[in-house]
Chains A and B, each alone.
Chain A
Amino acid sequence: MAHDTHIHVRSQAEFEYTKKKRAEEMRGHLATFAIMIFLTLIAFTMVTAGFSAYLIVPIVLLLAAIQVVLQLYYFMHMSGKGHGMVAFFMFCGMFVAFITILALVTIVWW
């Protein structure tokens, strides 16, 4: 609807600020991307190097968890404003799922 449209003219200061923010964000993205590639390389190298499975499996799982967190915070903007509730629900869900699966696996297969 036409009457809902607002035209907001940005001042020079606002423009500079946004530009700076974006540049920072971009740097963050690139750095994270590099880290993620590096973590992937570690994982692959470990497997090809032929270490014991008992060493590889937990480390690869740990690396995967780090990748998920990086992905969520740097690429899916979970650090941004208004994501508190999303983060809360995700971590609650993960916590509940972790305890449930841990207890289930322990009592069924131990």
Chain B
Amino acid sequence: MSSIAQKKGFGATIWDFMTTVDHKKIAILYLISGGIFFLIGGLEAMLIRVQLAKAGNDFLSAGTYNEIITMHGTTMIFLAAMPILLAFMNAIMPLQIGARDVAFPFLNSLGFWLFFFGGIFLNLSWFMGGAPDAGWTNYASLALASEGKGIDFYSLGLTISGFGTLIAGINFLVTIINMRAPGMTYMRMPLFTWTTFVASALILLAFPPLTVGLFFMVFDRMFDANFFAVEMGGNTIIWEHLFWIFGHPEVYILILPAFGIFSEIFAIFSRKRLFGYTALVFATILIGFYGFMVWAHHMFTVGLGPTANAVFALATMIIAVPTGIKIFNWLLTIWGGNISFSVPMIYAVAFIPSFVAGGVTGVMQAIAPLDYQLHDSYFIVAHFHYVIVGGVVLAILAGTHLYWPKMFGTMLSEKLGKWTFWFFFIGFHLTFFIQHFLGLMGMPRRVYTFGADQGWDLFNAISSVGALFMAIGVIILLVNVVLTSIKNERVGNDPWGDGRTLEWAIASPPPFYNFAQTPLVRGLDSVWIEKMDGNKKGMIFAEPLGDIHMPNGSIIPFVISLGMFIASFGALYFLDGDKPWALAVLIIGLGITFGSMLLRSLKDDLGFHITKAELLEDAKGGNTDGH
């Protein structure tokens, strides 16, 4: 990125990123905005830990504390973890299957901008009369009673950013089904591509229930529709069902790509083919499938009755089987490998015990009678942070180190990377391990303070110290990014030296058209096969060099999303009565959106061609950014 930025002015670079339809640049956009939201969510986490550091603290008021826990959860799940994973999917998956771009580059850009504006909208609530305060699960009775506009920010913001995620998911599905290079059969796809595929299928099937739920919520709050209002004959439990029918697959949408990243890391840094590739693929599919069959385990204490609880408890425990298969396959991949403990590998090795700990507490909670004890206690908080931080966030940090050279063409410092790892890893266990015991000692979730006589002081103080460690780790990572960008030492195709899949057979960062010639894939780990056959290039080609058809960039996705963003403000205020301009804002916003969609439909944009001569020029080491 930096080499391009130096050649072009600042404004031109911004414009380039606003109009880009290139999957690699969209990946950078996802990474930067997801990273910023990750920092905001992290800041909120720090505030929570400061407030809970000692008994009877008055650092935050009860109301503000509710807003902060809500925004911490919502931001981390929807605006940080998922977009950063989408960044890796965007940057790497098309390269892994030997494609020039995703199937719908325009939609890819639209998906990003919808997510981005949805996230901005949600976070503007802080400055416009108060953030949502009913928890990230936004349970209906509590949400309907919430005063102010917080909950409306939540429902509208998540609707918009949910559209974006849905679009991204469909795009990846079509890409993986249709755009694999010749010879890349399904059972030769790298595991990160497989997990992207299954996670995208989950996005496709899981987001509609959330949209339905949010739609009901908007209507209940704005038009008194009474879907969830018990006193009017509605049913408040329906929200919980809809939310968790989405919410449980959602956590698998997060963890499956994380599994994919770790699978790549284990194979690369053990210098071995993945042990039990087929089993890993089918375990991924099974986890995806079971993900839809277990949502009610979040609701054991609602009173569904013993039959429903028993069925969902059993279904939940079954998920431990494919997950166990994965864990053992990873261990056997490492076993007997020629291991190098680079930063990504350290994260991967640390991930196994951390995630297993989270998984085991998950099975404990699947036992419905025990869950009556654990429900809404800090034990739950400890559990889901063990799977999300110990699984997803470690994968994000590992992936950042692993794919940084592929995305930006420079290597993050190994030394600082190890510092980040140790601070973050120790901090993580310090913060959350002890919360299991706080939970068992009876400390409930979502309380803004506790009394000095309850005996929770010491453990909470330790937990807060751990959070500080994690913050230091993240700050070191930021320093690492800055130093690496300033040094700007360019690296070659395969900076780790042991790349196995197609993304490592192409320049870092890849030219904007990816592969000058579509590669021919001869088996699983195709680059490794070629290298073992003495082919230094790492790939053979399926076609002669020829002209390449490329899509034009477009500002329209940005404008469509901006229209939705403006319209949301209209929707937010137009029932207030004292704001006559709100309806106009709503109409103008929707007008911008539909107008730009119309423009896109009517205006033929046939893209452009890169000629063979230009490709030959590039191959000699010419420009790689396409301008």
Closest residue on chain B to residue A106 by CB atoms = B308
Q: In the assembled complex, how far is the CB of residue A53 from the closest CB belonging to chain B, in whole angstroms?
A: 22
Interface string of A67-106 (1 = CB under 8 A from B): 0000000000000000001000100110011011001101
B241 CB–A CB distance under 8 Å: yes
B370 CB–A CB distance under 8 Å: no
A107 CB–B CB distance under 8 Å: yes
Q: What chain A residues lie within 8 Å of B201 (beta carbons)?
A: 89, 92
Which 8 residue pairs across A and B have the least CB separation, nearest first?
A107-B308, A96-B292, A107-B304, A85-B177, A104-B241, A96-B205, A100-B245, A93-B205
B296 CB–A CB distance under 8 Å: yes
A108 CB–B CB distance under 8 Å: yes
Residue from A97, A100, A103, A108 whose CB has the most chain B CB atoms within 10 Å: A103
Q: In the assembled complex, how far is the CB of residue A107 from the closest CB belonging to chain B, in whole angstroms?
A: 5
| Contact pick for B241, options A89, A92, A97, A108, CB 8 Å | A108
Are A108's CB and B238's CB within 8 A?
yes
Q: What chain B residues lie within 8 Å of A55 (beta carbons)?
A: none
A7 CB–B CB distance under 8 Å: no
Q: What chain A residues lie within 8 Å of B305 (beta carbons)?
A: 107
Residue from B204, B209, B241 whose CB has the most chain A CB atoms within 10 Å: B241
Are A107's CB and B235's CB within 8 A?
no
Are A99's CB and B177's CB within 8 A?
no
Are A1's CB and B547's CB within 8 A?
yes
Q: What chain B residues lie within 8 Å of A85 (beta carbons)?
A: 177
* B306-346 at interface with A (beta carbon < 8 Å): 308
Task: Give the interface size class of chain A.
Answer: 10 to 19
Q: In the assembled complex, how far is the CB of residue A90 from the closest CB belonging to chain B, in whole angstroms?
A: 11
Closest residue on chain A to residue B235 by CB atoms = A108
Residue tally, chain B, CB below 8 Å to A: 20
| A92, B304: Cα distance in complex, Å | 27
B293 CB–A CB distance under 8 Å: yes
| A89, B204: Cα distance in complex, Å | 10
Given A85-B177, A93-B205, A108-B235, do A99 and B304 touch, yes or no (CB 8 Å)? no
B415 CB–A CB distance under 8 Å: no
Q: What chain B residues lie within 8 Å of A92 (beta carbons)?
A: 201, 205
- Interface residues, chain A, CB within 8 Å of chain B? 1, 85, 89, 92-93, 96-97, 99-100, 103-104, 106-108
B609 CB–A CB distance under 8 Å: yes
Given contacts A89-B204, A96-B292, A103-B296, 4 further A-B contacts (CB under 8 A): A97-B205, A99-B292, A100-B292, A107-B305
10 A/B residue pairs, CB under 8 Å, sorted by A: A89-B201, A89-B204, A92-B201, A92-B205, A96-B289, A96-B292, A97-B205, A99-B293, A106-B308, A107-B304
- Chain A, interface SS category: helix
Are B292's CB and A107's CB within 8 A?
no
Q: What chain B residues lie within 8 Å of A89 (beta carbons)?
A: 173, 201, 204
| A100, B201: Cα distance in complex, Å | 16
| A103, B293: Cα distance in complex, Å | 9
B237 CB–A CB distance under 8 Å: yes
Q: What chain B residues lie within 8 Å of A103 (beta carbons)?
A: 296, 308
Q: In the assembled complex, how far is the CB of residue B334 from the closest CB belonging to chain A, in whole angstroms?
A: 33
Closest residue on chain B to residue A109 by CB atoms = B235
Q: What chain B residues lie within 8 Å of A104 (beta carbons)?
A: 241, 245
Q: What chain B residues lie within 8 Å of A97 (beta carbons)?
A: 205
Q: In the assembled complex, how far is the CB of residue B561 from the closest CB belonging to chain A, in whole angstroms?
A: 27
Closest residue on chain A to residue B299 by CB atoms = A107
| A1, B289: Cα distance in complex, Å | 44
Q: What chain B residues lie within 8 Å of A96 (beta carbons)?
A: 205, 289, 292
Q: In the assembled complex, how far is the CB of residue B35 from the closest CB belonging to chain A, in whole angstroms?
A: 32
Q: What chain A residues lie within 8 Å of B547 (beta carbons)?
A: 1
| A103, B237: Cα distance in complex, Å | 14
Given A96-B205, A99-B292, A103-B296, do A108 and B177 touch, yes or no (CB 8 Å)? no
* B215-254 at interface with A (beta carbon < 8 Å): 235, 237-238, 241, 245
| A1, B611: Cα distance in complex, Å | 12
Q: What chain A residues lie within 8 Å of B173 (beta carbons)?
A: 89
Given A96-B205, A96-B292, do A108 and B245 touch, yes or no (CB 8 Å)? no
Interface string of B285-298 (1 = CB under 8 A from A): 00001001100100
| A96, B249: Cα distance in complex, Å | 12
| A103, B312: Cα distance in complex, Å | 10
| Contact pick for B237, options A93, A99, A106, A108, CB 8 Å | A108
Q: In the assembled complex, how far is the CB of residue A45 from the closest CB belonging to chain B, in whole angstroms?
A: 35
Q: What chain B residues lie within 8 Å of A100 (beta carbons)?
A: 209, 245, 292
